[in-house]
Amino acid sequence: MIPLRDWVEAVPFPVIVTDTTGIIQCHNAMFAKTFQPFAAKENIRNLFQQWEERGNHLLSIEFQGAPYLLLYHPIVNEGQDMVVYVAADGSHIKLLQQKITELDKLNRELDAIIENSYDAIYITDNQGTTLKTNSAIERITGIPKEYYIGKNTRDLMQRGILKESVTFKVLEQRRPVTVVQSNFAGKETLMTGTPVFNEEGEIEKVVTNIRDLSELNQLCHELNKALELNDQYRKELEKLKTKACRDPDVIVESRRMREIYDMADRIADFDATVLILGETGVGKDLLARHIYRASSRFGKGEFVKVNCGAIPHNLLETELFGYEAGAFTGASRSGKPGLFELAHEGVLFLDEVGELPLALQVKLLRVLQDKQVQRVGGTRPKSVDVRLIAATNRNLKEMVQKGTFREDLYYRLNVIPIAIPPLRERREDILPLVQYFLKHFQEKYQIDREFSRELKEFFYQYHWPGNVRELSNLVERLVLIVPATCITLDDLPSEYRQKEEQPLSTAKIKSLKEAIESAEREMLTIAVEKFNSTYKIAEELGTSQATIVRKLKKYRLQTASRK
């Protein structure tokens, strides 16, 4: 029999032998080399910083910070109970434990991600048997997730829980598959199955994502309603903003002009062509600019105005449509964009459109039809997004009959006709305009002026053949040439005084009664426009309220408060 010491020395691993109390009895050289220094007859537990029982005669120890394993077994040597310990490097075991711990952590995190997914996650093996799912499937199908575990998708189809199996489509086609179907609970779902391959290229699992589209569809429906409502609010706010920010030089008091500007607000966002009709000086360009400012084009493109009667016919074509480099002698080397191009995404205002020559009318009609413009000397048309507003003081219908204006162009322009009445037909606007112009020119020239009551009455009664433009001209002239602070009827230019003081011709002589009634009606007409009550009118005219009431009834007049 080999002595114990010889046997211990022959083992190719660090070996140590102790008695049953742990006192060292012998060891081999490999143990001494690995765990030195230590004293003879020392307790084995004192050699190591860690001593942890792991079961099955296995100990986990630590020596000088390094991990080791001790495999021990009791023996009997020469009638004495002893314990043999065999040591092994434990670093790879510790690394394995770390990997297991990390893997366990990752698995827990993955489980948490799957469980907390808003969509249902459904995992099967390569035979279609359910391995894992999450709680979202219960919200979507109404069936607890535990019910699915271990069941094959074929069983679920047979029981009516599934109409078709994405899992089997994936197993058959070996690629991701997406289907939309309504489940047995009536909910529309989007199901996307994805194969998981192993190293040999075989499908190992199928992961299916199930999304409840009924909730998404409802959200989309509510979102669309909210967007529509928001769009309505936006349009209303834009209209209110337009009214609040209406051009400060837009003065409308008469009912007819308010109706015109209200209609302009309504049609502002529609790209139909507008034809503005009216005498010279009534404010056609002001209305055109207001339509632009009230539209969605405001801020995107420019408001471009051209007076067709102020540009020579031989230059008007290049102004409207532009020209390419070298199109004619003296042309710019880089060419020049026309007004249609400059008004892209905005508004082009053609004032005095009746002055367009027939040749240009044809080209304008083509642009309106095709939404494309071709420069002079060019070969390629260019698309333009332009809203056209035209204006004229001429009778285009008569011009069509005479052959000086194309009928097809007339109907292209006359989609939304707006006729602005002359100033003499909307006298309610005269005095507000007077005050506006007076304030404007006072600020412009830093002059303090006011108009007498008699002069205001003249403004109100005058027939204004030049309309608003003539009124503005006269107010500016009076502000500049009259040195007195208060401007009176006597300060009017001679041509206006002559018209005012012109004697009656014998052909216009009326009876005294008719003349009195005419003057009385005229005076009362002015009064009801200025004052809101019969009491104030009576006080101003120096008579009784009862007389005013009787006279108003006689001439069928009403104050503003009774209209």
Which sequence spans correspond to the domains of the chain? Answer: 4-95, 117-215, 246-416, 424-502, 507-562
Per-residue pLDDT band for 384 (boundaries 50, 70, 90) equals very high
pLDDT of 202 above 60: yes
Query: pLDDT tens digit string along 514-547?
Result: 777 777 887 888 787 777 788 788 877 878 888 8
CATH H-level, domain 246-416: superfamily: P-loop containing nucleotide triphosphate hydrolases (3.40.50.300)
Show the tokens assigned to 487: 């401007």
Query: pLDDT tens digit string along 214-246?
Result: 777 778 888 888 888 887 777 666 655 555 445
Q: Is 482 strand, coil or helix?
A: coil
SS3 annotation, 128-181: CEEEEECCHHHHHHCCCHHHHCCCEHHHHHHCCCCCCCHHHHHHHHCCCEEEEE
pLDDT of 560 above 70: no
Q: In what side-by-side order are the strands of the sheet with 50-55? A: 24-27, 15-19, 80-89, 66-77, 58-63, 50-55
pLDDT of 506 above 60: no
Max CA pair span of the chain = 168
246-416: same fold as 117-215? Answer: no
Which of 214-218, 295-299, 404-408, 481-485 has the weakest average pLDDT? 214-218
- What does the DSSP 8-state code read for residue 404? S
Pairing of strands 372-373, 130-133: unpaired
Whether the model pTM is above 0.75: no
Query: pLDDT tens digit string along 143-153?
Result: 888 888 888 98
For the chain, the distance separating the N- and C-terminal CA atoms, rounded to the nearest angstrom, is: 137
Show the tokens assigned to 148: 């699915």
List C-alpha distances in Å: 52 to 17, 48, 70, 367: 18, 10, 10, 94
- Highest-pLDDT range among 171-180, 409-418, 553-562: 409-418
> To the nearest whole number, what is the mean pLDDT of the chain?
86
What is the C-alpha separation between 480 and 177, in angstroms, rounded? 85
Q: Which CATH architecture has domain 4-95?
A: 2-Layer Sandwich (3.30)
Q: Which CATH class is domain 117-215?
A: alpha beta
Q: Which CATH architecture has domain 424-502?
A: Orthogonal Bundle (1.10)
Per-residue pLDDT band for 507 (boundaries 50, 70, 90) equals very low
Instruction: Tell which CATH classification among 1.20.120, 2.60.40, 1.10.10, 1.10.287 matches the domain 507-562.
Output: 1.10.10
